[in-house]
């Protein structure tokens, strides 16, 4: 697990941070499948 103080510092200095390994490969595939199956024709849809 990453040190949360590094994320806090990044948020303060850069305004953002990157959290790695939040989802498993299987979860990412499921999310991708759901996004691809969604109605993408609406103005509010963003990929």
Residue 36 is inside which H or E element, if any?
Answer: helix 25-37
Local confidence pLDDT in tens for the 47 residues of the chain = 567 889 999 999 999 999 988 999 999 999 999 988 888 888 888 76
* Structural domain includes residue 10: yes
Residues of the domain holding 32: 4-37
Residue 47 has a pLDDT of 62
Does residue 45 form part of some domain? no
pLDDT of residue 8: 92
Which token pair is 6? 């590094």
Query: pTM of the prediction?
Result: 0.54
* 22 in a structural domain: yes
The domain total for the chain is 1
Asked if 34 and 27 count as a contact pair (C-beta separation under 8 A), the reply is no
């Amino acid at each position: 697990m990453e040190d949360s103080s590094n994320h806090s510092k990044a948020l303060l200095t850069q305004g953002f941070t990157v959290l790695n390994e939040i989802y498993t490969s299987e979860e990412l595939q499921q999310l991708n499948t759901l996004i691809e199956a969604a109605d993408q024709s609406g103005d509010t849809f963003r990929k």
